[in-house]
Amino acid sequence: MGRSVLRIGTRGSDLALWQARWVQGRLQQQAGLAVELTVIKTSGDKILDSPLSKIGDRGLFTREIESALIAGEIDCAVHSLKDLPTELPEGLEIGAVTERADVRDVFIPHPANPRTRLRDQLQEARIATGSLRRRSQLAALRPDYSIVDIRGNLNTRLRKLEESDWAGMVLARAGVVRLGLESRVGETIPVEVMLPAVGQGALGIETRADDREIRERIAGLAHADTERGTAAERALLRRLEGGCQIPIGAYGRIARDDRGTSRLYLEALVGSLDGSKIVRGRVEGPPADAEILGTQLAEELLSRGGQAILGEIRSEGQARP
């Protein structure tokens, strides 16, 4: 292989740097290869005074990094897979998806709040989240809760929580654990209560489609079961989303059935913003049919009321491209 230096593009948050350094460490085990990080500020890092639902999130945390990748300024990019749009720019592809960390969300209570479980908070408690997916499921769980929108990296959110009168906030467990902040977790929320975001807990390594050398170098970081599970989730999102941010949760996993056969199990939901309408479904099938299963479940959700829910959200101007 020709390269002696490989350049990884990444955002500059503590979590993004942790993720990029993890990939860097794995790649540096290859003989004769130096791996450098290039920090790139994205639109999502610059626009912090507006909710994601008002500005749209398609490419918000990836666009500038992808431009650098296309221009040859970096050789690959490390993203939280949940940040990567389902439609990538021409000439780019996901070269590898890493083994998934815990997909669940967590409730982090205010330091002065003795109630550590999400559903046990006081009447009309204020709960912070920056996600429409979480907002919808929180409202379905406890319609009395007041949902507060929050933006910023993990440490910024923790500081805002400490300075607030909120009961707590909901975050992805993977990021909290990766930054060594697990002691702040009050409860890890079961997926039966709150389905995760598409791709949550996994890293996506983006490459140029014609760069065979980089694809070969990152191949050892790929995790087949995670790739298939998240492929099903992303196919579902591609069919449902239409480029807009809407309340969708999904979790695809590979497990063996009673006969020892490997199966892909995919569960997903579409919800209204106020949580009053939730359409949830599940499919299973051969892992090789991941994208077919994702599209199949999306069609089922649409036919069972999802289409009406999404139509209401878009007509109200709540979801933006």
List the beta bridge partners of residue 79: 204
Q: Give residues with Cβ within 8 angstroms of 313, minimum separation 6.
A: 246, 247, 272, 273, 319
Structure tokens at 88: 């990538």
Report the distance separating Cα 268 and Cα 273, nearest Å: 16
Report the distance separating Cα 141 and Cα 134, nearest Å: 10
Report the distance separating Cα 186 and Cα 109, nearest Å: 6
Torsion of CA 68, 80, 22, 223, to 10 degrees: -110
The phi, psi pair for 294, rounded to 5°, reads -60, -45
Report the distance separating Cα 30 and Cα 217, nearest Å: 8
Closest CA to 224 of 198, 257, 262: 262
Look at residue 20 and give its three-state secondary structure: helix
List the catalytic residues.
Answer: 83
Q: Give residues with Cβ within 8 angstroms of 207, minimum separation 6.
A: 69, 75, 76, 77, 92, 93, 94, 95, 214, 215, 218
Closest CA to 83 of 228, 192, 205, 189: 205
